[in-house]
Structure 1
């Protein structure tokens, strides 16, 4: 499942980094995740069951678990079983439940917490994709463009992983430019060059403004995989692929 792959990918990408960094959640102090943590919504510590009587009453609870699983460092007391159960429940949503969940999530895109905003944007994109509504994901471009420029590197790295859910095979045209600029800026960090290059290549001609940044990153790197990815991205952006 895509969600399980992401959990493994996050662990691999972020292994070895300093997890002591902290992102302030809001001026009010208490974060969304802490207000709605698994311990708060389910004191017994039991995982969220995948079967529900009324799905609409569980959106906040399920989302709180998913947010807690995305936040770094991982909250104390978050059980893998709870995260897996929440993910399984969300994967099992039918069309009506997915549409209701998307409506719920749109209200979280302006949350003070960057973890909430990033997770909400990713979840919206995934559920739209499930419903063949990926064309609507252009309204998430600004959200990810802002997160990719966040001052905290943890937020930037997770946004860089999650933006994959928005970048599809369809052209975004001028709407893609905020994302193109943010991805190009990510190339300045030698630790996060591969994914931005990959995504820019997938955007094709829409990413033409990033060509100088891609070429510069390719010239600076000593890693063959970066150089190869850059060459392939340049070919796709210039329309030279077969």
Structure 2
């Protein structure tokens, strides 16, 4: 029998503007990805950006996730906040609820939740904050899957609470030997060479892993692959990645 083609979701962080300030080319990225992570007021995003992103994603048949974050517009959600667990639970509920309202106004639905930036990284090891996010998902009805990194504390807690989890990897980020992302403050943390990024995406799709900076192998049994929309040349890079995956026979389909 012929082996089934590898299956992968391509997701990107979109709607990361605020007011008159814009970031990235959302319309172009929506022609490439299968899932849009829509900022919903924590690190970026307001009513107008959310509505426009939901309308555009729905028109292209792209799945929508709530891109929740610390309440940190000034720091773009990339600073760790020692926020009280109860406050973090409320923040996730408020942000998801806002996006659900805007999506509903455009006859679209929010299909999952993807934490952003420093919150995403904290959920790999911070038990209290991971539990707070899981509590929010439970209080939101328990039906929204969570996108998270393999091996994260939040994955275990979500599964224990009956929340579906979609494991995620990154095409344009370097990995440490322990499977975590190389911190952005370190050299080489963000990959920008199109060939290298496309090859890492293909490795994740077909071999379920990547090489860390020290040459060791990192297992990444993921179903979704994140493409950042705010890096220089993001659209061209995303197109290169999609073309490389499709030429290798990878089937691209939303995971949610």
TM-score by shorter chain over 0.5: no
TM-score using structure 1 length = 0.31
* Higher helix content, 1 or 2: 1
Structure possessing the higher radius of gyration over alpha carbons: 1
TM-score using structure 2 length = 0.30
| Higher RCO (C-alpha under 8 Å, 6+ residues apart) | 2
